[in-house]
Amino acid sequence: AQTVTQSQPEMSVQEAETVTLSCTYDTSESNYYLFWYKQPPSRQMILVIRQEAYKQQNATENRFSVNFQKAAKSFSLKISDSQLGDTAMYFCAFMKPQGAQKLVFGQGTRLTINP
Amino acid sequence: EPEVTQTPSHQVTQMGQEVILRCVPISNHLYFYWYRQILGQKVEFLVSFYNNEISEKSEIFDDQFSVERPDGSNFTLKIRSTKLEDSAMYFCASRYSGSPQETQYFGPGTRLLVL
């Protein structure tokens, strides 16, 4: 069974700073997908970024980028030029591309961006 | 932008009572999921549903749980006889197709409290 671990329950940075959220996972699969979802206060989870394991290039979406280290089973999220609207719970998730394609989540990291 | 909606946002019930949690997935989506998050714990997969049948369920999803798509728009989760440990946030999600490239879109959740 796959497991996802986020070791930082909470983080706090100043607006405009760069912040990195950590995620590690455990799997015996060779092909899989990894995700970062963001859940703002009292709002639904929305997808921030996706990485396919067979792609060596790290995914980027505007100010969001990942550092995917397949051998180390590490998948960190970097937020550059952080904004107040980035304040949210961030979940790392794993998915096998076969079957029901359910998401396996980490515990989440609560990120606060301070003005 | 289309969104997944869930009703009610909060529900309080007595132990042993039946509850039905409702979800309206995005209209052209074909794959549906329920997840739950007990306070302070990870978001956990409960069940996936496609083509009017369950495609995968977790160990949590025992005989007390059932899902249904009674019409073309709603997707429901029923708990027949609630237990204290069913208190959690329940999230519905939907996806357009079976491609792993397709994003799972989440609803805002229903917070269930069993007394």
Q: Strand, coil or helix: what is A35? A: strand
Residue pLDDT, tens place only, B19-42? 999 999 999 999 999 999 999 899
- Substitution target from A45, A48, A55, A92 for chain B, most B beta carbons within 10 A: A45
> How far B79 CA sits from the closest chain A CA (Å)?
21
Q: Which residues pair with A29 in a beta bridge?
A: none
d(CA A72, CA B55): 32
- Average pLDDT over chain B, rounded to whole? 94
Are the C-beta atoms of residues B109 and B11 closer than 8 Å to each other? no
For chain B, say whether A1 makes contact (Cβ under 8 Å).
no
Are the C-beta atoms of residues A104 and A112 closer than 8 Å to each other? no
Q: Strand, coil or helix: what is B92? A: strand
Residue with the larger pLDDT of the pair A44 and A66:
A66
Residues of chain B neighbouring A106 (CB-CB closer than 8 A): 42
Q: What tokens appear for A115 in the block?
A: 């003005």
For chain B, say whether A77 makes contact (Cβ under 8 Å).
no
Residues of chain A neighbouring B35 (CB-CB closer than 8 A): 103, 105
Q: CB pairs below 8 Å between A and B: how many? A: 54
**A23: pLDDT confidence band, cut at 50, 70 and 90?**
very high
Q: Return phi, psi of residue A86, to 5°.
A: -80, -10
Q: Cβ–Cβ contacts within 10 Å for residue A9, how many? A: 10
